[in-house]
Each structure stands twice: as structure tokens, then as C-alpha cells.
Amino acid sequence: MRPKRYPYQGKKASTTEIVKAWKKDCLEILQKQITSIEEKLALLYNE
């Protein structure tokens, strides 16, 4: 699962750039999931 990210047109992203982009995307997904879980827990305990 490699992101198709190109720093500028005509040249493919280096492995380092791909890894950085992958880490960033994973962190964003995890943060969204954690936020939604925290919101659900807050709703459960506030009721």
C-alpha cells in the first residue's frame, strides 16, 4: 500500500518521502479514531 505522492511533477517520490507520507496518513487516521472513541465514551459516561 504505497501512496502515489510526487513532490513535483515528473519525478517519483523517494522511499523516505513515501514513508513520511505513510506515517502522517496513519497518524491522522489513528487520531480520528481515538477522537471518535473518546466522544463515544464521553456520551456513555455522561448519560
Residue 27 belongs to some domain of the structure? yes
pLDDT band of 3, cuts 50, 70, 90: low
Burial 13-27 (b: 16+ CB within 10 A, else e): beeeeeeebeeeeee
% residues pLDDT > 70 (the chain): 70
Residue 4 belongs to some domain of the structure? no
Residue 42 belongs to some domain of the structure? yes
pLDDT at 2: 58
> For residue range 29-47, what is the model confidence (pLDDT) as tens digits?
999 999 999 999 999 988 6
Residue 38 belongs to some domain of the structure? yes
Boundaries of domain holding 29: 14-47
Which amino acid is located at 31 in the chain? Q
In angstroms and rounded to an integer, the radius of gyration of the C-alpha atoms of the chain is 17
Q: Return the higher-pLDDT residue of 13 and 35.
A: 35
Residue 46 belongs to some domain of the structure? yes
Residue 33 belongs to some domain of the structure? yes
**Assign residue 10 a region: left if phi > 0, alpha if psi is -120 to 50, beta otherwise?**
left
Which amino acid is located at 13 in the chain? A
Which amino acid is located at 11 in the chain? K
Half-sphere exposure of 23 (CA within 13 A, CB side): 6
Number of domains making up the chain:
1
